[in-house]
Amino acid sequence: MCLSHPTAGYYMNTSKPVIGSEGDFITSPEISQVFGELLGVWLLSQWMYAGSGREIRLLELGPGRGTLMHDVLRVFSQFPAARSATKEIHLVETSPAMRATQEAKLSFLAQTHGWTLHWHDGVDQVQHDCSKFTLALAHEFFDALPFHLLQKTHHGWQEVLITSERDPAAPTVLKPDTSAPSLDFSSTAAPLPTNTSRFRQVLSPTPTPSSTVLGLSSTRFQKLPIGSRIEVSPTSFKIARRLGELLHDSEDGSQSAGSALIVDYGGDKVYGNSFRAFKDHKIVDPFYRPGQCDLTVNVDFAYLKEASADLGQMTCYLKCATQISDISCRHVATHHGPLSQAIFLHRMGLQPRLDALKAAAKDEERRKQIDQAAKRLVDPTGMGTQYQVMGMTGKTKKVLTDEERWPFIEAVQHPESAGVGQQPSTV
């Protein structure tokens, strides 16, 4: 409700931008065009390896202002084969305001090359079509999906709920955390005026059906000690499963039906205390001005992997937890990574692309801007390590070569230089 309510939701707001210097946060595509270009290069290489000459269908979940897709499309437009193979662009977006912004950003490029734009309220509305090769992106999408907060007790998994009872001790504004992703804290932000929170967390008196089911939805959770808290998103599980199915060729498994990149902050583990809100580029209490702040939580990439892997005996639990009636046990996708954003961008050719952009720049000031923006993307104390990149390819019987898995391969260099790497000459 706070993010997606038709009239009161944060993303539905038309009076104030949510992204950029005038909004509440900034994203990698808005910082530098190089980010989207290098993601586009990876998608293009996947089509070259596994597309088998099929038409290209591009898909993005949560396209924001359309900047990332625009940069990807510019890459595809530079290659005649890819340009002619691209037919459809599908955007999963619930906000009418965002859709209008995306259309304004993408329509000219799409019309120029005869590409059609399609919008969907959910990824389940995108039809499976293995006659086309689906190339998908989900950048800062999974972090904004609803989740359940569970706590392990001697009675089992109990859910942490929200009450509207007043809590005079609740802080409104949290101090900026330099380890928190998505923001570059160069200085301590001034605190906003304090205000008594109207909402607070309470532990359910007994285990609930949802807390029991979700606590069983991963074997990783069952091994945690008493007192542990976990943030579990069945919505993320359901969407990741559907994304994997879109990439899966349901016929004989001899070929993939597509590839995807998921970029978000988080890691290959479950989190228990990452829920936070952003307002005016500051971290604030999630209960501060509901509907006027961006809400976010770290992404458990391991859970996304489990969603598209062989579900086995966990199927019955996950059917209930995710409300998927036709979920199957088959392994629908192969996962790659996650890698840190810095390693991914370096291995995909960040430096050569920067050199080309700076060589074409008109003056020294522009060259400096290009360089600073790129450094922010790969800053080891900021976005470079806080953001993770995971690749997905449709499950096949074939063993992928190192070139097909690039840049998601084991580092062959010393740790201090592993972030750069050398891309195979065939890519």
Q: What is the pLDDT of residues 78-125, one digit of tens each?
A: 999 999 999 999 999 999 889 999 999 999 999 999 999 999 999 999
Q: How far apart are the C-alpha atoms of 46 and 261, rounded to whole Å?
A: 11
pLDDT(48) > 90: yes
Is residue 420 pLDDT above 80, yes or no?
no
Q: Are 189 and 281 in contact (CB under 8 A)?
A: yes
With beta carbons less than 8 A apart as the criterion, state whether 341 and 378 touch.
Answer: yes
If you average pLDDT over every residue of the chain, what do you get? 85
Q: Kindly state the average pLDDT of the residues 63-81.
A: 96
Contact criterion met (CB below 8 Å) for 267 and 335: no
- List pLDDT tens digits, range 337-374: 999 999 999 999 999 999 999 999 999 999 999 999 99
pTM, whole model, 2 decimals?
Answer: 0.86
Confidence of residue 322 (pLDDT cuts 50, 70, 90): low
User: What are the distances in angstroms from CA 157 to CA 205, 303, 342?
Assistant: 11, 18, 37
Residues in the chain: 427
What single letter denotes the amino acid at residue 77? S
Whether 273 is covered by a domain: the verdict is no
Mean pLDDT of the region 254-283? 92
CATH of the domain at 305: 3.40.50.150
The total number of structural domains in the chain stands at 1
Look at 27 and 203; give whichever has higher pLDDT. Answer: 203
Question: What is the C-alpha to C-alpha distance for residues 313 and 423, in angstroms, rounded to an integer?
Answer: 40
Confidence at residue 179, expressed as pLDDT on a 0 to 100 scale? 40
Residue of 283 and 343 predicted with greater confidence: 343
What's the Rg (C-alpha) of the chain?
A: 22
Least confident of 258-262, 291-295, 333-337, 390-394: 291-295
pLDDT score for 199: 83
Structure tokens at 46: 């996947």
Percent of the chain clearing pLDDT 90 (strictly above): 66
Whether 390 has a pLDDT exceeding 90, the answer reads yes
With beta carbons less than 8 A apart as the criterion, state whether 247 and 394 touch.
yes
Paired tokens of 75: 């890459």
Strand partners, 90: 59, 118
**DSSP-derived 3-state class of residue 389:** strand
* pLDDT classification of 18: cutoffs 50, 70, 90: low
Strands 86-92 and 116-120: parallel
How far, in Å, CA of 14 to CA of 17, rounded?
7
The answer to the question of residue 40 being in a domain is yes
Where residue 323 falls among pLDDT bands split at 50, 70, 90?
A: low
Question: Is residue 327 one of the residues assigned to a domain?
Answer: yes
409 assigned to some structural domain? yes
- pLDDT above 90 for 136: yes
pLDDT at 80: 96
pLDDT class for 417, splitting at 50, 70, 90? very low
Averaged pLDDT, 309-315 = 56
Q: What is the pLDDT of residue 110?
A: 96
Instruction: Mark 27-45 as b/e (b = at least 16 C-beta within 10 Å).
Output: bbbbbbbbbbbbbbbbbbb
End-to-end CA distance of the chain: 44
CA dist list (Å): 299 to 81, 94, 305: 36, 21, 11
Specify if 5 maps to a domain: no
8 Å CB contact between 393 and 322: no
Residue-wise DSSP of 6-54? TTT-GGG-SSS-SBSTTSSB--HHHH-HHHHHHHHHHHHHHHHHH-TTP
Domain of residue 135, residue span: 27-145+234-268+299-417
Q: Is residue 220 part of a domain?
A: no
In a domain, residue 22? The reply is no
**106-110, 200-204, 306-310, range with the lowest pLDDT:** 306-310
List pLDDT tens digits, range 206-253. Answer: 999 999 999 999 999 999 999 999 999 999 999 999 999 999 997 677
Tens of pLDDT, residue by residue over 141-190, are 999 999 999 999 999 999 999 988 765 555 544 444 444 444 433 333 44
pLDDT of residue 168: 58
pLDDT computed for residue 13 by the predictor: 76
| pLDDT at 183 (0 to 100) | 40
Q: Would you state the pLDDT for residue 290?
A: 85
423 lies in a domain?
no
How far from the centroid of its chain's Cα atoms is residue 299's Cα?
A: 8
Residue 278 has pLDDT above 50, yes or no: yes
Identify the band that residue 403 occupies on the pLDDT scale cut at 50, 70 and 90. Answer: very high
- Distance in angstroms (rounded) separating the CA atoms of residues 95 and 67: 16
